[in-house]
Amino acid sequence: MKMKTLNPALGLMATLIATVDAGLRFPCSTLTVQRLDPAAQPGALPSSHLHMIVGGNAFNATMEGDVASRATCTTCQMSEDFSNYWVANLFFKDPKNGTYHRVMPAPVQPLLGGSNGAQGGLTIYYTQNDLSKDNLKQNPVKSFVPGFRMTVGSPLETNKPHAGLSYQCITNGNRGTITSTFPTGKCDGGIFTTHHFPPCWDGKNLDSPDHQSHMYNTVRSEYFDPAPACPSSHPVRMPQVTFEVTWDTKPFNNLWNPSTDKNPFVWSFEGSSAGTHADYMFGWKGDALQRAMDKSECFYDGCGSIKKQAMSVANQCTVKDFVRENIDGWQKFLPGMGDAAHTGMKVKKEFKA
């Protein structure tokens, strides 16, 4: 049987805990929601569309070198992890009047023990093989290195996202069927999205022009599958990174009618389901990630050699609002998508001064 994306409501967990050995899974609260994208649009202030970002406070429009040496706090539970992780923000577009409202990320709920006080944010995974076994000897993994970044998926994709990028409609506490499109009905528990990153590195480049071709994607399904061998072009096995988010769409459920309205949810680039994407900027301190990957004791939030912090402490980590635009309330345009005078140009001018 294939290991499915796990469901907190399932009793399946009890069995898994006993067999799982290697890999990390932990919550990171929202750090900031801004139009910045140091991986895909380095230097752009603001970037083209809005992102929800978690992780360390070295986050900035441009990020080079050793992120962990510049950060002083992180919104992640693993307190040696100053990486940044981000996704496009979801919006509700009112079918009656066409205005947009930001959808908030629900407190992340990594399995076991609820959200532990996380605010919004992402659940982050670093797995070695899959979710069910420790494959350390057969499949040793190498930590990412300072300066490393990558993206998965593309806002330009209009057909359908590739394997590993998916949606689920949370209903009655159940994550439900995995789809490549936005759920077509109302989801009382929100819309759950998953992004699996590629796990094979070329061993040389910290980045590439498309931010993807320095990695090779072995992901062929929506599940936490065992990683096959890496190809000779990209021979270095890295941790398999995955992000999960729950977008709290419930407040909008009484504003649309699935039988008469078209799907009202859009990504912050006015994008449909196919354009779902995610960005990763490595920032673990020293050899902390390598230590975690080398130990079979590390899974879920239990890992003796990796320092943790209470989410109440993680939640105090912030960055400044670099872009300073209003993203709340009902908006005529998505941030950055309106006429120039209304958004982008004005903001840029402010920052030149």
Ligand X SMILES: *[C@@H]1O[C@H](CO)[C@@H](O)[C@H](O)[C@H]1NC(C)=O
Could you tell me if 170 and 187 are in contact, meaning their C-beta atoms sit under 8 angstroms apart? Answer: yes
Size of the site for ligand X (CB under 6 A): 9
Q: Does 180 bind ligand X (CB under 6 A)?
A: no
Nearest to ligand X of 68, 293 (CB atom): 68
Binding to ligand X (CB under 6 A): which residues in 252-281? 255
**In the complex, least distance from residue 57 CB atom to ligand X, rounded to whole angstroms:** 8
Residue with tokens 């872009």: 323
SS3 annotation, 192-258? EEEEECCCEECCCCCCCCCCCCCEECCCCCCCCCCCCCCCCCCCEECCEEEEEEEEECHHHHHHCCC
**In the complex, least distance from residue 61 CB atom to ligand X, rounded to whole angstroms:** 6
**In the complex, least distance from residue 96 CB atom to ligand X, rounded to whole angstroms:** 6
Nearest to ligand X of 156, 255 (CB atom): 255
Nearest to ligand X of 97, 259 (CB atom): 97
Q: Give the containing element (helix H, strand E) for 19.
A: helix 13-19
Nearest to ligand X of 86, 192 (CB atom): 86
Binding to ligand X (CB under 6 A): which residues in 46-105? 60, 62, 94, 96-97, 99
Angstrom distance (rounded) from CA 295 to CA 136: 8
**In the complex, least distance from residue 124 CB atom to ligand X, rounded to whole angstroms:** 22
Angstrom distance (rounded) from CA 82 to CA 69: 9
Bridge partners (DSSP) of residue 246 are 192
Site string for ligand X, 286-325 (x = CB under 6 A): ----------------------------------x-----
Q: Is the peptide bond prior to 46 cis by the omega test (within 30 degrees of 0)?
A: yes
Phi, psi of 105 (to 5 degrees): -75, 135
**In the complex, least distance from residue 271 CB atom to ligand X, rounded to whole angstroms:** 21
For the chain, helix, strand, coil in percent to 5 are 10, 25, 65
Q: List the helix and strand counts (H, then E) for the chain.
A: 5, 17
Residue in 330, 338, 339, 346 binding ligand X, rule: CB under 6 A: 330
**In the complex, least distance from residue 45 CB atom to ligand X, rounded to whole angstroms:** 9
Nearest to ligand X of 61, 165 (CB atom): 61
- Residue ranges binding ligand X (CB under 6 A): 60, 62, 94, 96-97, 99, 255, 320, 330
